[in-house]
Amino acid sequence: MRFTKMHGLGNDYVYVSGFDQPAPANPEALAIAISDRHFGVGGDGMILILPSDKADARMRMFNADGSEGEMCGNGVRCVAKFIHDHGIANKERVTVETGRGVLTLDITRDEAGKAEWIKVDMGEPILQGSLIPTTLPGDPPVDVPIEALGRQMNGTAVSMGNPHFVIFVDDLKAVDLDKIGPALETHPAFPRRVNVHFVEVVDRTTVHMVTWERGSGITLACGTGACSVCVAGVLTGRTDRSITAHLPGGPLKLEWPANDGSVFMTGPATEVFSGEWPI
């Protein structure tokens, strides 16, 4: 089986195209094996790039633990780069079918004609608590208290097709993400688990954030998470509607226009190498 390793700001996945080979029969088990950083290719998970009758391609995303996620912001940018650079849809605007619907992506090419920067219409945030889903009060829950590991903190829940919980803090260095991340991911308030983000606000247009990603643990970047941080910053009055989010893997530009419609995310996508996996 042929594969391509790609990343968006260090949020790395193994990409398998179903355009020129059969899709894997058991993607959940394959995702676990191929994502292993010691015995496999290594990555935060696996993403299948498949034909679609609704868009230029369809994306299925599997976390490193084999669970299937609805969306991945960094992943969808890499899918756009793959189908552009590999001739599946060599155009400046492409569409990708995801678990949260069809997304439109605008591509900026480098001097060699390859996709370099990609702007994604990530769709409207989901703000109804039951659809996020969470049992926390509010539509959406904004700065609501939650208790984990014997401590109470306040956070805001948002869905970008997948659930997120955003906690603003004064000092990111004081966050023990290894411990608090998994406790919040599996908190009873989130029936489908949740992606957890801790955010330090520098000014109204700049934030720093770290992520515990559902099913994968600590990752260098999370695109849907950065979008949820942009939304949470507006909802809590901490940031403007256009921000730069600095993640461990690099910066993403986010915008949530005043009409409360789609969130737009702009960032890079990088192809690292290709290979073959025995099946």
Q: Convert the pLDDT of each residue in 62-76 to its tens digit.
A: 999 999 998 999 999
Same domain, yes or no: 137 and 257: yes
Within 10 Å of residue 123's Cβ, how many Cβ atoms?
A: 19
Q: In the predicted model, what is the mean pLDDT of residues 160-183? A: 97
Q: Are 32 and 66 in contact (CB under 8 A)?
A: yes
Q: Give the number of other CB atoms < 10 A from CB of residue 44.
A: 28
Q: How far is CA 210 from CA 101, 155, 232, in A?
A: 27, 14, 15
**Residue 38: predicted pLDDT:** 97
The whole-chain average pLDDT of the chain stands at 97
Catalytic residue among 78, 222, 227, 230: 222
My answer on whether 64 and 134 are in the same domain is: no
Per the CB < 8 A criterion, the answer to whether 198 and 167 are in contact is yes
Residues 98 and 143 in one domain: no
Query: Which of 72, 78, 227, 230 does the annotation list as catalytic?
Result: 72
Looking up residue 249, the CATH number of its domain turns out to be 3.10.310.10
pLDDT band at 279 (very low <50, low <70, confident <90, very high): confident
pLDDT band (50, 70, 90) for residue 204? very high
Cα angle 241, 8, 173; round to 5: 65
Question: What stretches of 111-255 adopt beta strand conformation (E)?
Answer: 115-121, 144-148, 151-159, 163-168, 195-203, 206-213, 217-219, 242-247, 250-255
**Do 114 and 174 fall into the same domain?**
no
Q: Quote the DSSP letter at residue 10.
A: T
CA distance 120 to 76: 8
Q: Are residues 246 and 135 in the same domain?
A: yes
- Whether 174 and 80 share a structural domain: no
Q: Do 133 and 252 share a structural domain?
A: yes
Same domain, 9 and 111: yes
pLDDT in tens, 108-149: 999 999 999 999 999 999 999 999 999 999 999 999 999 999
Does residue 170 share a domain with residue 111?
no
| pLDDT at residue 100 is higher than 90 | no
pLDDT in tens, 222-238: 999 999 999 999 999 99
pTM (predicted TM-score): 0.91
pLDDT for position 74: 95
Mean pLDDT of 11-34: 97
Extract the tokens encoding 160. Answer: 């970008």
Check if 227 is active-site. no
Same-domain check for residues 28 and 143:
no
Report how many domains make up the chain. Answer: 2
Which pLDDT belongs to residue 108? 97
Share of the chain above pLDDT 90, in %: 98
Looking at the structure, tell me whether residues 256 and 153 fall in a common domain: yes
| Same domain assignment for residues 46 and 156 | no
The secondary element (H helix, E strand) that includes residue 227 is helix 223-235
Q: Is 230 a catalytic residue?
A: no
Q: Is the CB of residue 235 less than 8 Å from the CB of residue 142? A: yes
Which residue range(s) make up the domain with 235?
Answer: 129-261
